Amino acid sequence: MTIFLRMLLAVGMACGALAPAGGIDAAAAKSLDIVFVSPGKTGEVYWDMVAQTMRAAGRKLDAHVEVLTSERNYRTMQELGFGVVARADKPDFLILSNEESAAVPILEAAEAAGVRTLLLSNTLIGEDATRFGPPRQKLRTWLGDITTDLQTAGARMANALITTARAEKWQSPDGKIHILGIGGDEITPASIARNAGLKLAADAAPDVVVDRMLFANWTQSEAEHVTANYLGWAARKEIRPAGIWAGNDPMALGALRAIAAAGLIPGRNIEVVGLNWSDDALREIKAGRLLLTDGGHFLLGGWSIVLLRDYADGCDFADASPRVEVKTSAITRDNLGSVGDLIKTRAFDRIDFTRFRAKAGQCGRYDFSLDALISSLALPDGVGD
Amino acid sequence: MTGPDRNAQGAPRRLRSVVGAMIWATVPVLLLVQLLASAGVEATSFWSQIRQLDARIARTAESRAELIAEPLWKMRYDQVTGVLNEIMHDETIAAAAVYDDTGAAIARVVARPSDQAVAEVSRPIKYSNGNIAVQAGRIAIAYSYTTVYADTGSRLLLLLIVGLLATLATVVAIRISANVFIGRPLAAIMSAIQRSKQDGRAYPAEIRSSNEFGQLARAFNAMQHTTSGALDRLGHMASHDPLTGLPNRRSLSERLVTLSGDAGSPDSLIAFCFIDLDDFKGINDTFGHDAGDKFLVHISERLRDAVEPQDWVARLGGDEFVVIRPEVSNEATAQAFARQLLDAISEPIRLHDKQVVPRASIGLAVRRAGDPELSHLPALADIALYHAKSKAPGTVAVLDEALQRDYRRRRDLELAIPAGFAEGQFEVWYQGQVDLESAAVVGLEALIRWRHPDHGVIGPGEFLPLIERSGNNARLTRYVLTDACRALQRLAAAGRPDIRIAINLPPSELADHSLAAELRATCARFDIAASMLELEITEGSLINNIASASETLHRLRRLGATIALDDFGTGYSSLAHLRRFPLDKVKIDKAFISEIPDSAEDKAIVGVIASLAGTLGLTLVAEGIERPEQAAAMREMGVRFGQGFLYQRPQPLAAVLQGLQRRVAEDRVRVDSPSIAPEFAA
């Protein structure tokens, strides 16, 4: 399977190399040397996909992307980072993710060595943020960061539930629409942002009550457990549960299992939403049991290369803001067909990253929406022209 | 020792010690107080424990509620159960349950089924975060008081045991301290008292402490000291004569006990001198009792001076002294010693500027130290003294076989007196009184005789003192009186109603006021006139009891009896008596008659008496006329009547009556009738 995939990739690269770069002054372009120190593990879906989109984009945008994996060890991550910074042949850009604030020493080392850095997915927070201020001030080589807007994602997921419930008239005897929220945890910024989105949406809807915000540690089984508890409680309270908001796809799948166990039919008398664009979630969407899964943030890998290409070519994204926040998108049954395969097969070379580069005079303005993505997609090889 | 005392000693009440009584009085109270205090403390503790348990469980419920709030609210029911399970380590908790806001039991744990004393506490579970504050549910905990009960029970048992041990310890402490501080001092005092009781000496109690018992002991010892002195003085007084300072009769008894032991050997001779002063009564009467006492002191000093250091002098009382010489070589030296004592006594003494020559009689008894009858020495010496006093006053009489024989005879007779009365051994004989002119019998004197079965006929001189000493005087007098009355009857019957009978009245009878009445009654019984009776009294009986005698005599005389003064001229003859008492007759003692007509002095005395009697109108009777010359001399001196062997010996009434018959026939007095016994008539 892997060999087959590699062959596909090789073919794709060859195709890309052969195809003429549209809109870009190819003569002025210089090949970039980019190193990404991944905090994740080999096999960890999200970070793998980030790296894959990075490489795919590199191939499209003449950038050599070297991915170093920390294997979830932040000391290793720092050593890798220091090693990169200390190289005689320094890369043009170093991409880091500030998980657990472990990237800060590398940022400083890079500053000293004059290596330009970009923070991906996790930027400086707390004391570090105050200490160093915005990018390119104290750390002049820290170009900026690229993150996803998960609060909007949370709100979008909630609103999808509310809209469906209103349409189906799933109000409880008290006239309210009762929703259960299942968060991953209560401390990580990624979780807090999503949960805040739920609260934002619920607060904006007077006919909606979030009965509980339960936490399931991002896992399916715990989510199934708390959902079962909730459903039991709701039955005793004579509440008609209208929807379950889950902070990620596994927890949404757990909720689905509990719903089934409680004798309810998801998609028919209760709706569940998730986040992550996972294969299983897409399958449930296709089966009509899951209302949507929000996500697409693994594309940050590809988008980061787009930013750096533009920057290297003189179109600095900081013209708009050194901080680029990418909106996620929901996959529903409606758009499932367009991106389902892409995600399933990880055929990221189908994405034409060159189309996402900033227009001249509009540096820092990007459209990374799902629609833009869909329209950029080349037809899969197997599908034929 | 008196009766009640002996009873008290014979059956002493069971002793209950002060210490025991203290313990009995203290321990129940102590035990009760301890038990009550324990129970009180334990009850308080029990309620406090119950309250504490309630509070603790409530706190547990509250703290668990806080812990449970979040997992409950967040529906992590496994965590809720986990938290709930943790509290089950508390063994008082029987069960616990958590209910959510719908009332459904989210978690329930039961530690152990408890069927007794289960209490329940319930607390709300409140959940709040930044946005909301809600009651997420309720926690209920059921818990048991069993541990408190068990704790209380075991503690109560412990307290009980501790209390009992404490009481025991207290008892032991009381026992020991009371023994030390009370029992021992009391025992010391009791011991001193017991020892003092045993030998009559005053022993001090050995207590040295300075507490109350020490003070008591000091006071007791001071008292013992005082008592000791008093006892010594009392002992001295008990054994010594206060007047002369000599040992007394009591000492003599003690001395006799130790006498044999004090002697050198069993064969050594002990001389016991019983000294009786002669006529000490006269000295008392003449010089007064103070002088008499002084006299006795003199005598005691002389005796003291006369004896050797080993000799022993005592005053038995009155005028009786005893001197014991514990070792004499033989009886002769003992006699010499006794005479030496007499000589010492006989030195003249000045009393009220008058020279008085003391006289004394001594009864001497000499016995071997080993003689088992040593304790009889006083009695033996007394026998000798009796002899000396009665036979030869102012001399030493040595106890010999004869004296002892006399003594034994006297004692035999004395013991035989009751039998003598009972068996009619006493006989009344009669001796005629005659008209010296006509030799005609005009009266009879009743004279008592004792026909003893062993000793034969005994004269009154021997047994009358014994009768008197045995207190049978009155009985004998009544006996004689009755016999005399019967004799008068027979005389009258024999044609001689003119003959009167004289009865001797002993001195003691004169003091008896009932005599007159008795005499009258007896006369009435035999139908005879009292005037036929003549009552003879001695001068001695008058002197000893003048007032009483006078009264009795007057009564008798009023009855018609004649009163005769017997043995006139002997003793303390006082002519004043002749006038003072109602006398009819005077009997001249035979001592004055026996030497007549040879003694001119006696003739002169009798002449004076006769003329005095004539002057006073008294009838005279001469006693002891044994020869015709005497009768003639009496007639010459005007003595009308006589009595004596010349005319008639005392004889039984029958013989008297025969004689009278014969006299009637012959009109002559037979003078040679044989004598049966010597005439001892007093």
CA dihedral (B557, B562, B565, B566) positive or negative: negative
Question: What residue of A is the nearest CA neighbor of B71?
Answer: A214
d(CA A199, CA A213): 9
Report the residue from A213, A215, A233 with minimal CB separation from B100: A233
Interface predicted TM-score (ipTM) over 0.85: no
Interchain proximity A236–B76, CB inside 8 Å: no
| A6 — pLDDT class (breaks 50, 70, 90) | low
| A317 — pLDDT class (breaks 50, 70, 90) | very high
Interchain proximity A237–B102, CB inside 8 Å: yes
d(CA A198, CA A244): 11
Residue B446: name the closest of B409, B414, B490, B411 by CA.
B490
Report the residue from B74, B77, B102 with minimal CB separation from A236: B102
Please tell me the number of Cα atoms within 13 Å of B228 on its side-chain side.
14
What local confidence, expressed as pLDDT, does residue A266 receive? 94
Interchain proximity A233–B76, CB inside 8 Å: no
d(CA B109, CA B87): 10
Give the domain ranges of chain A.
32-148+297-341, 151-295
Q: In this structure, what token pair is assigned to residue B52?
A: 């504490």
**Contacts of the segment B476-480: beta carbons below 8 A, 24+ positions apart:** B476/B426, B476/B448, B476/B506, B477/B503, B477/B505, B477/B506, B477/B509, B477/B515, B478/B518, B478/B522, B479/B421, B479/B426, B479/B428, B479/B448, B480/B428, B480/B446, B480/B448, B480/B504
Give the burial string for B214-227 (b: 16+ CB within 10 Å, else e): eeebeebbeebeee
Q: A339-343, B195-199, B547-551: which range is least confident on average?
A: B547-551
Interchain proximity B104–A237, CB inside 8 Å: no
d(CA B262, CA B351): 39
| B403 — pLDDT class (breaks 50, 70, 90) | confident
CA distance readout (Å), A42 to A73, A119, A170, B403, B576:
12, 20, 44, 165, 181
Question: What residue of B is the nearest CA neighbor of A180?
Answer: B74
What local confidence, expressed as pLDDT, does residue B205 receive? 82
B231 compared with A39, residue with greater pLDDT: A39
d(CA A12, CA A56): 9
- Residues from chain A that touch B74, judged by Cβ atoms under 8 A, are 212-215, 226
Interchain proximity A230–B75, CB inside 8 Å: yes
Beta-strand pair B320-328/B312-317: antiparallel
| Degrees, nearest 5: CA angle B101-B106-B112 | 130
Residue type, A211: D
- pLDDT average, residue stretch B2-7: 41
**Contacts of the segment B346-354: beta carbons below 8 A, 24+ positions apart:** B347/B302, B349/B295, B349/B298, B351/B283, B351/B287, B351/B291, B351/B294, B351/B295, B352/B287, B352/B291, B354/B287
Chain B CB within 8 Å of residue A237 CB: yes
pLDDT (tens digit per residue) in B122-140: 999 999 887 788 999 999 9
A–B interface: beta-carbon pairs under 8 A: 27
Question: What residue of B is the nearest CA neighbor of A183?
Answer: B74
Question: What residue of A is the nearest CA neighbor of B104?
Answer: A236
Interchain proximity B73–A212, CB inside 8 Å: yes
In this structure, what is the dihedral angle of CA atoms A78, A84, A87, A93, given to the nearest 10 degrees?
Answer: -140
Give the burial string for A330-369 (b: 16+ CB within 10 Å, else e): bbeeebbeebbbbbeebbbbbbbbbebbbeeeebbebebe
* A145 strand-pairing partners: A119, A323
Residue type, A28: A
- Residues from chain B that touch A230, judged by Cβ atoms under 8 A, are 75
* B79 strand-pairing partners: none
Query: Which strand (E) or helix (H) includes residue B563?
Result: strand B562-568
Residue type, B522: T
What backbone phi and psi angles, to 5 degrees, belong to B486?
-65, -40
d(CA B475, CA B466): 13
CA distance readout (Å), A318 to A308, A322, A343, B403:
11, 4, 30, 180
Cis preceding-peptide flag for B326 (omega within 30 of 0): no
Please tell me the number of Cα atoms within 13 Å of B286 on its side-chain side.
12
Among the residues of A169-287, which ranges form H helices? Answer: 189-204, 220-236, 249-261, 279-286
Chain B CB within 8 Å of residue A216 CB: no
| A321 — pLDDT class (breaks 50, 70, 90) | very high
Q: In this structure, what token pair is assigned to residue B677?
A: 């016994």
- Residues from chain B that touch A225, judged by Cβ atoms under 8 A, are 76, 78
Residue B380: name the closest of B411, B337, B415, B414 by CA.
B411
Check if A32-148+297-341 and A151-295 are the same fold.
Answer: yes
Residue A233: name the closest of B241, B42, B136, B456 by CA.
B136
Among B72, B75, B78, B79, most A C-beta atoms within 10 A, so best to mutate, is B75
Question: What residue of A is the nearest CA neighbor of B137?
Answer: A233
Q: B182-196, B412-426, B535-549, B601-615: which range is least confident on average?
A: B535-549
Among A192, A195, A233, A244, most B C-beta atoms within 10 A, so best to mutate, is A233
What backbone phi and psi angles, to 5 degrees, belong to B353?
65, 15
pLDDT at residue B283 greater than cutoff 90: no
What single DSSP character describes residue B75? T
- Residues from chain B that touch A241, judged by Cβ atoms under 8 A, are none
Contact yes or no for B206/B184 (Cβ under 8 A): no
| A83 — pLDDT class (breaks 50, 70, 90) | very high
What local confidence, expressed as pLDDT, does residue B16 receive? 64
The strand ranges marked E within B255-319 are 269-277, 312-317
B638 sits in the region (left: phi over 0; alpha: psi -120 to 50; else beta) called left
pLDDT (tens digit per residue) in A258-279: 999 999 999 999 999 999 898 8
* B110 strand-pairing partners: B95
| A175 — pLDDT class (breaks 50, 70, 90) | very high
Distance from CA of B46 to the nearest CA of A (A): 43
Q: Is A333 helix (H, G, I), strand (E, B) or coil?
A: coil
CATH 3.40.50.2300 applies to domain A151-295 = yes
Residue B443: name the closest of B634, B587, B597 by CA.
B587
Query: Which strand (E) or helix (H) includes residue A317?
Result: none
Tokens 């909007």 appear where?
A152
- Residues from chain A that touch B77, judged by Cβ atoms under 8 A, are 229
Interchain proximity B104–A236, CB inside 8 Å: yes
Report the residue from A215, A232, A236 with minimal CB separation from B74: A215
Beta-strand pair A323-327/A271-275: unpaired
Residue B188: name the closest of B226, B167, B216, B158 by CA.
B216
Contact yes or no for B345/B299 (Cβ under 8 A): yes
Residue B388: name the closest of B468, B284, B274, B472 by CA.
B274
Q: In this structure, what token pair is assigned to residue B89?
A: 């380590």
Interchain proximity A212–B78, CB inside 8 Å: no
Q: B97-101, B322-326, B373-377, B615-619: which range is least confident on average?
A: B373-377
> pTM above 0.80?
no
Contact yes or no for A247/A183 (Cβ under 8 A): yes
Distance from CA of A350 to the nearest CA of B (A): 44
Residue B94: name the closest of B117, B81, B113, B80 by CA.
B113
Q: Is A205 helix (H, G, I), strand (E, B) or coil?
A: coil
- Residues from chain B that touch A200, judged by Cβ atoms under 8 A, are none
| A379 — pLDDT class (breaks 50, 70, 90) | low
What local confidence, expressed as pLDDT, does residue B514 receive? 83
What local confidence, expressed as pLDDT, does residue B3 receive? 40
d(CA B534, CA B549): 16
Distance from CA of B120 to the nearest CA of A (A): 25
In chain A, % helix, strand, coil (3-state, to 5) comes to 45, 20, 35
List the domains of chain B with CATH numbers: 18-150 (3.30.450), 204-238 (no CATH), 240-399 (3.30.70.270), 411-667 (3.20.20.450)
Interchain proximity B77–A229, CB inside 8 Å: yes
Interchain proximity B74–A226, CB inside 8 Å: yes
pLDDT at residue B416 greater than cutoff 70: yes
What is the rounded average pLDDT for all residues in chain B? 83
Among A192, A198, A229, most B C-beta atoms within 10 A, so best to mutate, is A229
Return all residues near A368 (Cβ < 8 A) that are at least 6 apart. A299, A303, A326, A327, A356
Residue A189: name the closest of A101, A266, A263 by CA.
A101
Among the residues of B432-502, which ranges form H helices? Answer: 460-469, 473-493
- Residues from chain B that touch A226, judged by Cβ atoms under 8 A, are 74-76
Distance from CA of A186 to the nearest CA of B (A): 12
Report the residue from A214, A236, A237 with minimal CB separation from B75: A214
Distance from CA of B141 to the nearest CA of A (A): 22
- pLDDT average, residue stretch B68-86: 89
CATH architecture, domain defined by A32-148+297-341: 3-Layer(aba) Sandwich (3.40)
- Top mean-pLDDT range of A59-63, B374-378, B485-489: A59-63
Query: Which strand (E) or helix (H) includes residue B138?
Result: strand B133-144
- Other CB atoms within a 10 A radius of the CB of residue A302 amount to 25
pLDDT at residue B668 greater than cutoff 50: no
- pLDDT average, residue stretch B498-524: 85
Report the residue from B76, B78, B102 with minimal CB separation from A233: B102
Contact yes or no for B560/B530 (Cβ under 8 A): yes
- Residues from chain A that touch B102, judged by Cβ atoms under 8 A, are 233, 236-237
